[in-house]
């Protein structure tokens, strides 16, 4: 049981890191064809995570099930950053997660 709690804590920390990465990115988040600020995008994903936490038992599940597409329209989310081309949020978040994990290897 303790192992499951520890894994849940790691997942929660990683998910909060990903949401914080969006919030501090300065990028534009495109949802259902409309542009949103990084702060608005982070707030939206926090709400989705709060409501759908049971579907996001890992950071990968969060990306795949909650942070990649609209649950309403099914359209993918995109992130437009000044220093790069438009990326699907799934790709952007996966890269951030991989970099985060690589920098936290014991």
pLDDT tens by residue, 7-58: 568 899 999 999 999 999 999 999 999 999 999 999 999 999 999 999 999 9
Decide: 29 and 35 in contact? Cβ < 8 Å: yes
The pTM score is: 0.89
Residue 78: which pLDDT band, with cuts at 50, 70 and 90? very high
- The domains of the chain are located at 2-99
Tracing tokens 């542009």 back to the chain, one arrives at 35
């Amino acid at each position: 049981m303790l192992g499951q709690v520890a894994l849940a804590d790691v997942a929660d920390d990683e998910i909060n890191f990903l949401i914080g990465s969006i919030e501090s990115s300065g990028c534009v988040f495109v949802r259902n064809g409309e542009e949103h600020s990084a702060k608005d995008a982070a707030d939206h994903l926090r709400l989705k995570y709060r409501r759908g936490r049971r579907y996001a038992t890992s950071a990968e599940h969060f990306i795949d099930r909650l942070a990649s597409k609209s649950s309403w329209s099914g359209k993918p989310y995109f992130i437009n950053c000044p220093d790069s081309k438009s990326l699907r949020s799934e790709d952007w978040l996966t890269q951030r997660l991989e970099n985060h994990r690589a920098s936290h290897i014991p």
